[in-house]
Amino acid sequence: MSARIAEKLMIDFSKFEGAAGVHFKDKSLLKQAFTHRSYVNESKISGLAHNERLEFLGDAVLELVVTEYLYSKYPNATEGDLTSYRSALVNAITLSEVARNLNVNEFLLLSKGEAKDEGRARLYILANTMEAIIGAIFIDQGYESAKNFISKNTFHLIDKIVENKTWLDSKSYFQEMAQERTGITPSYKTLKEEGPDHDKHFTVGVYLEKELVISGEGRSKQEAEQDAARKALESKGWMK
């Protein structure tokens, strides 16, 4: 085992527990939540598990908790608006912001290559790790503890999301504005597709005829298109 790997394995996760206000019964679950697949592949440590299964579980718990909250908070909102609010609250950008507030970066177990990349890929790693942490809390302490953690760290963000209209279906809104201002219906083209099947990253360009307005990124083509449309609205000055 390299000195670097040995040092990483000695991370004191109790600091995160203190900051998050959650103290695990099974400490190995918390460690797994912070362990990226790349670290497992690089370290070759027998029995070391990565966080993708916890991420899968945490994603479902997060969606349920947020759905329940929004349903109660906005009794007069339509199904479409509630869906948009939820998407804005649980997307990678929002979750990575929450992760940074909790200093998740400090505790990540990444391969040497992934550790060097502080760009867009790190945003998705942080978001995925947040979902894995929620999954770990759910297994270790149950639904109510997971709900309390999500409530404490995300619910306060919804007012800003609604006020700034970042919940809007940017793709539909950009199409509406583009047709109104230019008479052109926007089109989208995938510019880049990277990563393995379980962790794809897409770069999509939004065009007005042959003009590339701007590009966006996401974990799916749909998410990348929404990101591109949102950036296009900002670059054109078409946000209300």
Largest CA distance in the chain: 62
> Is the entire prediction scored with pTM above 0.85?
no
Give the range of the structural domain holding residue 21, as residue numbers without chain letter: 3-163
- Phi and psi at residue 45, in whole multiples of 5°? -85, 125
Domain boundary among 163, 192, 216: 163
Domain boundary among 144, 163, 182: 163
Domain boundary among 163, 190, 222: 163
Q: Give me the pLDDT at residue 112, please.
A: 86
Count of domains forming the chain: 2
pLDDT 10s digits, 189-234: 999 998 877 778 899 999 999 999 999 998 888 889 988 998 999 8
Same domain? 97 vs 180? no
**Confidence at 65, pLDDT banded by 50, 70, 90:** very high
User: Which residue's structure tokens are 């948009």?
Assistant: 84
The answer to whether the CB of 53 falls within 8 A of the CB of 46 is no
Select from 2, 8, 44, 49 the least CA-distant residue to 28: 49
**131 catalytically annotated:** yes
Residue in 42, 52, 55, 59 annotated catalytic? 59
Residue in 42, 55, 131, 217 annotated catalytic? 131
CATH number for the domain harbouring residue 213: 3.30.160.20
DSSP output for 24-78: -SSHHHHHHHTB-HHHHHHH--TT---SHHHHHHHHHHHHHHHHHHHHHH-TT--
**117 catalytically annotated:** no
User: Which residue's structure tokens are 């550790």?
Assistant: 115
Same domain? 118 vs 200? no
CATH number for the domain harbouring residue 104: 1.10.1520.10
